[in-house]
Amino acid sequence: MGFKSRRAADGRAPSTVKPSARYVPESMVLVSHKLCPRVQRPVIAFEEKGLLYNLEYIDLDDKPDWFLELSPLGRVPILKTDEGVLFNTSVITDYLDEITPEPLHPEDPLERAFHRSWIEYLCNILRDEERLERAADESEARREVQVIDGKLAHVERRLGSETYFDGEDFTLVDAAAAPLLQRLHWLDELAPELGIFENLPRVAAWRHALLERDSVQNSLVPDARARFESWLRQANARDDGEPSYMGARTLPPEIEPPAERIYPGAP
Ligand SMILES: N[C@@H](CCC(=O)N[C@@H](CS)C(=O)NCC(=O)O)C(=O)O
């Protein structure tokens, strides 16, 4: 562990978001896994606000005893505080948004509730995306894409022609969509024949706007793409030990990043 800033030892790019060096309480530590899409949401919020934060990674294959003691669900992310542990991504992100300046949630309670509804909706699609990662063959992959397409069609109808979910200002809905759209973007590059974004022009444009954003780029470890592809190649991506459809589409690099399992998430 240790104090991590945007210029952290893990090599993430220096942020150009905001110059102010403000801190969340130093005793607060966000605990996660290097490829966890869920932890990206609070990290993106920190980055957007130009805050420095503590981030600690654990190995989900070998969960430390202290983590199992702290985390009732045994899942990341958790936020350690002096007074206890928070253990749900939405709860953690909302709390951090509330205790720091420049809220990324709308002020109006009903608007805020609309945003929270869409955040939950988008987060649940991560589970479909994870199924697509593990699809055995092209027909299974196409079925998963159909499910994702059907769900994102609702988002497509909700999006306007502006840059972000709710106009030109970045909100926590954008922070929630970014990890999902990042992974779908990687999968789209690996398997363009599946046409993941084909029927979703607004979602596709939103994806590009989000992936270009500094805060989103800084929410990934530098070798995230290589780690993701390594995960896709792992035999344990599927129960029968065969590489998944997506895994077979990756080109093994000469030096593999350390193999780490990613565990299917849950809402
Ligand atoms: N609803 C939870 C889901 C968390 C979750 O599924 N985390 C995954 C990593 S992204 C995890 O810890 N999996 C390990 C396991 O289930 O053992 C949240 O949003 O915080």
**pLDDT tens profile 100-110:** 888 999 999 99
For residue 11, the model assigns a pLDDT of: 45
> Distance, CA 160 to ligand 1 centroid (Å)?
31
**Could you say which DSSP state residue 205 is in?**
H
For residue 19, the model assigns a pLDDT of: 39
Residues with a CB atom less than 6 Å from ligand 1: 33, 36-38, 60, 74-76, 88-89, 263, 265-267
CA nearest neighbour of 182 among 125, 141, 136: 125
> Distance, CA 77 to ligand 1 centroid (Å)?
7
**Ligand 1, closest atom to CA 33?**
9
> Distance, CA 68 to ligand 1 centroid (Å)?
13
Query: Pocket of ligand 1, candidates 75, 125, 126: which has the most ligand atoms within 8 Å of its Cβ, to mutate?
Result: 75
**Could you say which DSSP state residue 257 is in?**
P
**Ligand 1, closest atom to CA 92?**
20
User: What is the per-residue pLDDT across 65-77, written as a single tens digit (0 to 9) for each?
Assistant: 999 999 999 999 9
**Ligand 1, closest atom to CA 75?**
12
For atom 6 of ligand 1, the residue with the nearest CA is 265
Query: The pTM is what?
Result: 0.88
**Ligand 1, closest atom to CA 90?**
19
**Ligand 1, closest atom to CA 35?**
10
**Ligand 1, closest atom to CA 39?**
10
Q: Which helix (H) or strand (E) holds 4?
A: strand 3-4
> Distance, CA 265 to ligand 1 centroid (Å)?
4
Q: Domains, the chain, ranges and CATH?
A: 3-99 (3.40.30.10)
For atom 16 of ligand 1, the residue with the nearest CA is 75
User: What is the per-residue pLDDT across 235-263, written as a single tens digit (0 to 9) for each?
Assistant: 555 566 778 999 999 977 655 555 554 44
Supply φ then ψ for residue 52, to 5 degrees: -95, 150
| Range in 52-56, 84-88, 113-117, 209-213 with the lowest mean pLDDT | 52-56
For atom 15 of ligand 1, the residue with the nearest CA is 75
Please give the mean pLDDT across all residues of the chain: 87
pLDDT band of 234, cuts 50, 70, 90: confident
**DSSP output for 8-75:** -TT-PPPP-S----EE--TT-EEEE-TT-TTTHHHHHHHHHHTEEEEEEE--GGG--HHHHHH-TTS-
Contact 71, 87 (CB under 8 A): yes
CA angle, 264 then 112 then 169, to 5°: 90
> Distance, CA 266 to ligand 1 centroid (Å)?
6
Query: Pocket of ligand 1, candidates 172, 220, 227, 263: which has the most ligand atoms within 8 Å of its Cβ, to mutate?
Result: 263
